[in-house]
């Protein structure tokens, strides 16, 4: 399991000099993922326990989206190196799907996996903060994000984990886990502030509102989150709030380029609404759909527009259905966990729900359909559903045994 925990920890380090280094045709992190797949396959064979891979709708929809992406790539996409193609991304996601569902078969493993998830984001946050501390100056107002790939993508990953860390802080035991989650939360909020993603900030507001709405101590938690977020947003030398209220020339230029890309994406959708232009083709084809003065060649910076333009309307509908199904499944797990008095499952489901809401908002401003932590949260929602059913069956069997023994004792007493 240590390899799996390590894999989850390093997921946010997308451009790390070690983990993203190619050895042959694959990166180090992909070799680590393959090792986890082999371990999971071995455990599946030796334990011989049934795993319902496709019981939930989010699992079925994920497979459906993978099939549609593969068809689009074969039929419409331009030749690209296979190791950097969308197919390679989905293959790695399938391996993560398999590994996660096989290995997360107990509450203890779930707990350590969640800690590895928020711990990995906290570790990535240290990279972001160190880069900001080392290179930022008023004359060089950089937005840090080299090792984590990009400040906007880092912000999306952090948004998926911030509500989870906050929810784990509500766990009554063990106390050290609450402290660990609190430290991770502070580091992530500090890092997301200096990353200064405007879309990320809107996602943060959305998940904060959700967390407060679901909280039992709204006033206390509002004060805690306000003390963390508001002073940083106002007084930090660079922050998403400052970029929203007082955009610089480069901020305004970035906004204009996004408008141009969104407009070209909408034209692309209008002409290819059924099949799309082919997965991975948006950047190459966007200039052909732009008007004079809109010469911008880049990804769409909008998950929903890019996905619809590339895969068509059915691709968008399947993609949207995935987090909706996951959210509904988490809500069911959360309600059942409350009945079963499983604090870990309850807070895990709540935290992942908050992350999905934050992602849905931030995805309007960044092309994040391939974000690995997003899909990992989807896979975690499947595991929570399975663990909830497992605990419910265990308690039902215990109740049946208790009833049986009580009946036997009653018969014995009656015979006496």
> What average pLDDT does the structure give for the chain?
87
- Lowest-confidence pick of 156-170, 313-327, 392-406: 392-406
Token pair recorded at residue 245 = 């209220």
What pLDDT band is residue 82 in, cutting at 50, 70 and 90? low
Q: Rounded to whole angstroms, how far apart are CA atoms 233 and 230?
A: 5
pLDDT of residue 69: 93
Residue with the bigger pLDDT between 232 and 377: it is 377
Q: What is the pLDDT of residue 161?
A: 94
In the structure, what pLDDT confidence band is assigned to residue 27 with cuts at 50, 70 and 90?
Answer: confident
Tell me which residue range forms the domain holding 202.
Answer: 2-411
Using alpha carbons, select from 381, 378, 376 the residue that is nearest to residue 121.
376
For tokens 């107990």, name the residue: 106
Q: Check residue 238 and give its pLDDT.
A: 77
Q: Could you tell me if residue 278 is left (phi over 0), alpha (psi between -120 and 50 degrees) or otherwise beta?
A: left
pLDDT at 22 over 80: yes
Domain-located, residue 177: yes
Give the tens place of pLDDT for each residue, 360-413: 999 999 999 999 999 999 999 999 999 998 888 888 787 777 776 666 676 666
Token couple for 306: 């890019």
Distance of alpha carbon 301 from the chain centroid: 17
Which range, 128-142, 212-226, 242-256, 327-341, is most confident? 327-341
**Is 205 inside a domain boundary?**
yes
- pLDDT score at 227: 74
Looking at residues 143-171, what average pLDDT do you find?
Answer: 89
Cα(400)–Cα(277) distance, integer angstroms: 58
Count, residues in the chain: 416
Number of domains in the chain: 1
pLDDT at 204 over 80: yes
Q: 397-407, pLDDT tens digit by residue? A: 877 777 766 66
Mean pLDDT of the 106-120 span: 94
Q: What is the mean pLDDT of residues 204-217?
A: 84
Is residue 350 in some structural domain? yes
Residue 198 lies in a domain: yes
- Residue 391 tokens read as 């605990």
Question: Has residue 67 got a pLDDT over 90?
Answer: yes
Residue 240 covered by a domain = yes
pLDDT at 160: 95
The per-residue pLDDT for 249 is 76
Maximum alpha-carbon separation in the chain: 98
Whether 416 maps to a domain, the answer reads no
pTM of the model: 0.92
In terms of Cα–Cα distance, which of 18, 380, 360 is closest to 199?
360
Note if the bond before 174 is cis, omega within 30 degrees.
yes
Q: Which residues of 354-371 are buried (b: 16+ CB within 10 A; e: fewer)?
A: bbbbbbbbbbbbbbbbeb
């Amino acid at each position: 399991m240590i390899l799996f925990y390590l894999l989850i920890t390093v997921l946010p380090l997308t451009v790390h000099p070690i983990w993203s280094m190619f050895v042959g045709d694959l990166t180090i992190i992909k070799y680590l993922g393959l090792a986890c797949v082999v371990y999971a396959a071995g455990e599946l064979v030796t334990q011989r326990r049934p795993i319902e891979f496709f019981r939930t709708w989010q699992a079925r929809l994920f497979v459906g989206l993978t099939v549609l992406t593969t068809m689009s790539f074969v039929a419409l996409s331009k030749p690209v190196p296979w190791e950097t193609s969308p197919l390679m991304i989905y293959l790695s996601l399938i391996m993560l799907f398999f590994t996660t569902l096989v290995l997360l078969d107990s509450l203890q493993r779930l707990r350590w996996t969640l800690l590895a998830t928020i711990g990995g984001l906290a570790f990535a946050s240290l990279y972001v903060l160190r880069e900001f501390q080392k290179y930022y100056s008023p004359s060089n107002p950089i937005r840090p994000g080299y090792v984590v790939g990009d400040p906007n993508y880092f912000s999306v990953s952090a948004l998926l984990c911030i509500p989870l860390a906050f929810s784990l802080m509500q766990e009554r035991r063990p106390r050290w886990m609450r402290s660990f989650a609190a430290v991770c939360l502070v580091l992530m909020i500090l890092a997301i502030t200096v990353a200064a993603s405007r879309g990320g900030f809107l996602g943060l507001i959305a998940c904060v509102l959700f967390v407060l709405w679901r909280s039992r101590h709204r006033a206390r938690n509002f004060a805690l989150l306000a003390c963390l977020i508001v002073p940083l947003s106002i007084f930090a030398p660079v922050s998403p709030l400052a970029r929203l209220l007082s955009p610089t020339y480069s901020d305004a230029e970035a906004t204009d380029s996004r408008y141009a890309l969104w407009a070209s994406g909408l034209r692309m959708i209008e002409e290819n609404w059924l099949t799309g232009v082919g997965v991975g083709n948006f950047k190459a084809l966007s200039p052909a759909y732009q008007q004079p003065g809109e010469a911008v060649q880049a990804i769409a910076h909008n998950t929903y527009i890019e996905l619809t333009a590339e895969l068509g309307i059915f691709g968008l509908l399947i993609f949207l259905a995935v987090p909706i199904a996951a959210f509904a499944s988490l809500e069911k797990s959360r309600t059942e966990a409350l009945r079963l008095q499983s604090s870990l499952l309850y807070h895990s489901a709540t935290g992942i729900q908050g992350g999905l809401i934050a992602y849905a908002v931030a995805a309007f401003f960044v092309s994040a359909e391939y974000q690995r932590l997003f899909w990992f949260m989807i896979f975690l929602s499947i595991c929570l559903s399975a663990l909830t059913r497992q605990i419910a069956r265990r308690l039902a069997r215990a109740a049946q045994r208790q009833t049986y023994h009580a009946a036997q004792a009653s018969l014995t007493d009656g015979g006496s």
